[in-house]
Every structure is written in structure tokens, then in C-alpha cells.
């Protein structure tokens, strides 16, 4: 009798454990099925203003450098390559990598794996008789997932589509990142503003 009760109790325990496992697995599958990636919308190419005919004095270049340094909170040298790093939630202000479910994908990566964004800014400076022309190169971006080591390298008007090792239970194994063209516009605004000053001073 005791053996029978013991076996009956054991069977009930096994049934309880079995049902609990089924419920847990089903719940996980439901949660995993929610991980749906939506890529960013790729708009028409960003049209940079033609500044090839703009002329600047050395004072103009210094003013531009000062304004860019204030914008990026880092000393910007007009004659060198400049790398500016962004961390955390501010990254999503400048790049768009779509959504994971209803969460911005950049924030999703930062929350789970930690991340940073490196932005490389270059200018080509042409000089003749102490008058300068500026060629504004495309901005280069590197979005980096620290824990996985995944990197998206892209630049102005050239998105990056990357095949990821674990597509998070989504049929789409690719993740796309692109520039929002915010920094591009801010740089052009600074160049145009100081060129306007230069023109006004010469007239």
C-alpha cells in the first residue's frame, strides 16, 4: 500500500514536472517568435550641397574647426582624419538599423551586448595664395556590438547589410544599418554658414 501510494505520488510529481516543462517551452517559443526584425527604410540618396566653388580664408577654417569641435565635443583638425565615438542611446540619433519587434535595433543591441559608434570625418583642403577650398568627404561609420564583436561599416549614402550568425528566430538573417544624414547636414550647415560670412566680408 505504501509502495502503491509512493508510486502514485511519484507519478503525479512526474506529470507535474512534465506539464511544467511543456508550459515553459511553449512560453519560450511564444517569446522567441516575437523577435521579428524590420530593416530601416532606405530613402533617396542624401544630396550634399556643392561647395566645390566655395572659398575660405585661414580665419574661416579656424572658425569652422571651432564649431565642429563644439558640435562633436572633441578637437577637430581640418587637415587630419578625425574619429569621434558615441556610446549608448545617443547612437540612434545618427544611424538607423531598423527595429527588433517594437524596439529600435541600435538600442536592442546596446541593451543586450553593449555597443559604440565610431564616426570618421575627413576633409580635403586645397590651398592657393592663402585661399582655401574644402572638399567634404563622405562620413564613415562603424557600429560595433561589444559582446559579439559584430561590426557594421558603412558611410554616407552607402548602407551596410550584414549576415548575422544568430538571426534571433527570425527568417531574415540580415541586419541593415545606414546613416540618418544628421551629421552630414550639420557639417554642411557649418561650412555654408562660414562661407556666407566669407562672401559677405568680401563684398
The CA distance from 86 to 97, in Å, is 15
Q: What is the reported pLDDT for 48?
A: 67
> Does 2 or 47 have the greater pLDDT score?
47
Task: Give the pLDDT band (50/70/90) at residue 29.
Answer: very low
DSSP codes of every residue in 87-104: EGGGGGGTEE--EETTEE
> SS3 of 201, please?
helix
pLDDT higher than threshold 80 for residue 73: yes
In tens, the pLDDT along 155-167 reads 999 999 998 866 5
The CA distance from 34 to 147, in Å, is 23
Integer CA distances (angstroms), 173 to 92, 131, 170, 176, 181, in order: 21, 51, 7, 10, 26
Helices 182-202 and 58-72, packing angle to 10 deg? 150
The CA distance from 189 to 80, in Å, is 20
The CA distance from 55 to 127, in Å, is 10
Q: What is the reported pLDDT for 198?
A: 60
Report the residue count for the chain.
203
In tens, the pLDDT along 88-99 reads 889 999 999 999
Kindly list the domain boundaries of the chain, sorted by start residue.
1-33, 38-202
> Does 13 or 187 have the greater pLDDT score?
187
User: Mean of the pLDDT values across residues 116-141?
Assistant: 93
Q: What is the reported pLDDT for 13?
A: 58
pLDDT higher than threshold 80 for residue 49: no
The CA distance from 14 to 37, in Å, is 38
Amino acid at each position: 500500500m505504501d509502495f502503491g501510494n509512493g508510486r502514485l505520488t511519484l507519478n503525479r510529481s512526474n506529470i507535474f514536472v512534465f506539464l511544467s516543462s511543456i508550459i515553459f517551452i511553449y512560453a519560450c517559443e511564444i517569446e522567441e517568435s516575437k523577435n521579428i526584425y524590420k530593416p530601416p527604410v532606405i530613402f533617396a540618396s542624401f544630396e550634399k550641397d556643392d561647395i566645390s566653388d566655395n572659398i575660405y580664408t585661414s580665419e574661416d577654417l579656424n572658425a569652422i574647426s571651432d564649431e565642429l569641435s563644439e558640435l562633436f565635443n572633441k578637437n577637430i583638425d581640418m587637415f587630419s582624419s578625425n574619429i569621434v565615438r558615441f556610446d549608448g542611446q545617443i547612437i540612434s540619433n545618427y544611424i538607423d538599423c531598423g527595429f527588433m519587434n517594437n524596439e529600435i535595433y541600435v538600442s536592442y543591441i546596446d541593451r543586450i551586448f553593449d555597443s559604440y559608434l565610431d564616426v570618421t570625418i575627413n576633409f580635403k583642403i586645397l590651398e592657393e595664395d592663402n585661399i582655401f577650398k574644402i572638399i567634404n568627404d563622405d562620413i564613415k561609420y562603424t557600429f560595433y556590438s561589444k559582446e559579439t564583436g559584430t561590426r557594421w561599416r558603412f558611410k554616407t549614402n552607402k548602407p551596410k547589410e550584414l549576415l548575422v550568425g544568430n538571426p534571433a528566430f527570425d527568417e531574415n538573417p540580415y541586419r541593415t544599418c545606414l546613416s540618418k544624414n544628421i551629421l552630414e547636414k550639420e557639417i554642411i550647415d557649418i561650412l555654408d554658414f562660414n562661407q556666407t560670412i566669407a562672401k559677405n566680408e568680401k563684398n
